[in-house]
Amino acid sequence: MVGGFRWAAMFPDEVWEHVFSFLPADADRNAAALVCRAWYRIERRSRWRVFVGNCYAVEPAAAVRRFPEVRAAAIKGKPHFADFNLVPSDWGGGAEAWVEAMVEGWPHLEELRLKRMVVSDDCLELIARCFKNFKVLSLVSCEGFSTAGLAAIAANCRNLRELDLHENEVEDNCLHWMSHFPESFASLVTLNIACLEERLVGLLHRVPQLVDLGTGKFAAQHHPELFSKLESAIAGCKNLKSLSGFWEAGPTYLPAIYSVCEGLTSLNLSYATIQGPELIKLISWCKNLQRLWVMDLIEDDGLIAVAASCKLLQELRVFPSDPYGAAQPISLTEHGLVAISAGCPMLHSVLYFCRQMTNAALLTVAKNCPNFTCFRLCIMEPHTPDYITRQPLDAGFSAIVESCKHLRRLSLSGLLTDLVFKSIGASANCLEMLSVAFAGDGDAGLHYILSGCKNLRKLEIRDCPFGDKPLLDNAAKLETMRSLWMSSCSVTLGACRQLARKMPLLNVEVINERKRGLPLELQPDNCPVEKLYIYRTVAGPRSDTPSCVWILR
């Protein structure tokens, strides 16, 4: 600190602000703010973008007070496993507290992105009324609002550039909410309403400058005249780069989008029940595709075709068309994944649902793609071994983490022992998020992860034989992470109590949905914990916990 005051005063604040504007990452700005009080003061007044990875990590008012000039905010609520119904529906993640604080302290807010939060129509109305220069609204995996709330946004936000509403639970009570958009809507560039039925064609004519279009449900095959209108409307959107939608079977209307295929960089067909041959035909037009989301109906043959046509592909997601395996088996295997890894040199992000895998295939993928940043493999049957050798898939996943030095996100599946965790702990130095299910032999597995993986931020575990010891031995690690989720493991209440006492900056949330016997305060230490959610926070215990959640202190 000696001399800190002197040299900070060498330049006027504006110069430092300008310098700080070149710091792209929040981590860098956070570091700058720690140098001296002057820099703290200058930095906080010039930060205009904040990301709050856990809405309960800080009080909304505190965040708004510290950064008064924010124009863009992104906030996340529920833990990731809420997507799969593992988190009670009343757990929390309400957006009101944040929206109220933002309306109060950030009247010039232009951009708001919420993920996994409960957003009411009142919130949407507040946003529509209070932020005069509002440009971007993105609600992903949210719930609690209806199309009436959206109508308020459409009617009041005249400068709206981006409206992204994908995968929300929206109550559709206002049929013509989109008619509230202005007649000539020259500002809208991104429209993703892939959760609602709507009148697409009329809208497209009003927004020909659209770059990103996500449609809701429509069954064009029943309306041939609608098809030709759709074709001309889409062709009119000359800037279209990204397309997604709920497209039912019936390849007859796919040609409607051929005209824009060559310009597409992003295509989401994961809600479309188009079969392999039609998919291949469509994708063969999309030579510039960087991101492709499809159903496993594409099969290995389709992926081989993708590997041949889409040389710029960076991200691939293959979703299961039939998660419970009741229908005919689909021919999507490890071969498709290997083909893509071999044919697409820029591939760095994969999400792949399949039913079989081998260590050999994973080793090949690891060798072909050392640049992976995100690798999520879901073999749908828990504990599935290498189907040829019958061995666990430790070797395969170990090869991935050892080869892919920039891996930031990893999801494991299949039969796995503690060995894979040893490799991950030792090699995955950039790993920020790890998802584990039905894996491991015992405490050692969790210990390897928590004592290694120096950049780990989010860890989510379900149905693994991990217990108290690795948690207590690595308590300090938990404060360096955003959050830890453990469900159906072997953690006891006693360990959670100890952890909570030892680490005041953590909220240790115990979730017990089966309300039988004594309340949690009176349960003995050896009482098993169903679900555990631990996160670091400077806000202390939250006040909106439902009856099934206890925050231990």
Does position 488 interact with another protein (CB under 8 A)? The reply is yes
Q: How far is CA 223 from CA 217, 230, 243, 445, 453, in A?
A: 14, 10, 21, 56, 55
Among 271, 375, 421, 485, binds another protein (CB under 8 A): 271
Among 171, 381, 479, 525, binds another protein (CB under 8 A): 381
- CB 376 → another protein: shortest distance, Å? 9
- CB 222 → another protein: shortest distance, Å? 11
- CB 463 → another protein: shortest distance, Å? 7
- CB 206 → another protein: shortest distance, Å? 27
**Cα angle value 247/251/255 (rounded, 5°):** 95
CB under 8 Å to 182, separation ≥6 — which residues? Answer: 158
Q: Are 449 and 421 in contact (CB under 8 A)?
A: yes
138-157 residues near another protein, rule: CB under 8 A: 141
What three-state secondary structure class fits 355? coil
- CB 178 → another protein: shortest distance, Å? 20
Tell me the window of 144-152, 185-193, 296-304, 382-390 that interacts with another protein (CB under 8 A): 382-390
H or E segment and range at residue 324: none
Does position 383 interact with another protein (CB under 8 A)? The reply is yes
81 or 134: whose CB is closer to another protein?
Answer: 81
Count of residues engaged in binding another protein, rule: CB under 8 A:
53
75, 68, 22: which is closest to 47 by C-alpha? Answer: 68
Among 98, 247, 438, 533, binds another protein (CB under 8 A): 438
- Start-end of H helices in 238-288: 258-261, 276-284
Tell me the window of 32-40, 62-70, 237-245, 462-470 that interacts with another protein (CB under 8 A): 462-470
Encoded amino acid at 405, one letter: K
122-141 residues near another protein, rule: CB under 8 A: 141
123 or 357: whose CB is closer to another protein?
Answer: 357
- CB 7 → another protein: shortest distance, Å? 51
H or E segment and range at residue 13: helix 13-20
245 or 343: whose CB is closer to another protein?
Answer: 245
Does position 353 interact with another protein (CB under 8 A)? The reply is yes
What is the end-to-end Cα distance of the chain in Å, rounded?
A: 36
Does position 467 interact with another protein (CB under 8 A)? The reply is yes
Can you tell me which residue has the tokens 């309403």? 193
Return the structure tokens found at 51: 């990301």
307-326 residues near another protein, rule: CB under 8 A: 319-326
Does position 91 interact with another protein (CB under 8 A)? The reply is no
CB under 8 Å to 342, separation ≥6 — which residues? Answer: 307, 364, 368
455, 475, 464: which is closest to 412 by C-alpha? Answer: 464
For the window 225-264, what string marks contact with another protein as x by the rule CB under 8 A? ---------------------x-x----------------
264 or 437: whose CB is closer to another protein?
Answer: 437
For the window 505-544, what string marks contact with another protein as x by the rule CB under 8 A? -----------------------x-x--------------
Q: Are 76 and 101 in contact (CB under 8 A)?
A: no
Does position 415 interact with another protein (CB under 8 A)? The reply is yes
For the window 49-88, what string marks contact with another protein as x by the rule CB under 8 A? --------------------------------x-xxxx--
Does position 327 interact with another protein (CB under 8 A)? The reply is yes
- CB 323 → another protein: shortest distance, Å? 5
Between CA 242 and CA 263 the distance in angstroms is 9
H or E segment and range at residue 251: none
For 486, counting Cβ atoms within 10 Å of its Cβ (0-12 exposed, 13-18 middle, 19+ buried), the class is buried
H or E segment and range at residue 540: none
Q: What are phi and psi of 535, to 5 degrees?
A: -145, 150
402 or 530: whose CB is closer to another protein?
Answer: 530
8-37 residues near another protein, rule: CB under 8 A: none
Return the structure tokens found at 201: 């064609």
Our CA dihedral for 536, 541, 543, 549, rounded to 10 degrees, sits at 80
Does position 329 interact with another protein (CB under 8 A)? The reply is yes
329 or 519: whose CB is closer to another protein?
Answer: 329
14 or 169: whose CB is closer to another protein?
Answer: 169
Q: How far is CA 231 from CA 188, 287, 469, in A?
A: 20, 20, 61
357 or 366: whose CB is closer to another protein?
Answer: 357
Return the structure tokens found at 18: 């300008």
Encoded amino acid at 108, one letter: H
- CB 469 → another protein: shortest distance, Å? 11
Among 225, 328, 516, 538, binds another protein (CB under 8 A): 328
What three-state secondary structure class fits 207? coil
- CB 429 → another protein: shortest distance, Å? 25
Q: What are phi and psi of 189, to 5 degrees?
A: -115, -30
Between CA 236 and CA 506 the distance in angstroms is 53
DSSP 8-state assignment for residue 348? -
Residues that bind another protein (CB under 8 A): 81, 83-86, 141, 167-169, 195, 246, 248, 270-271, 273, 319-329, 353, 355-356, 378, 380-385, 387, 411, 415, 435, 437-438, 441-442, 462-465, 467, 488, 490, 528, 530
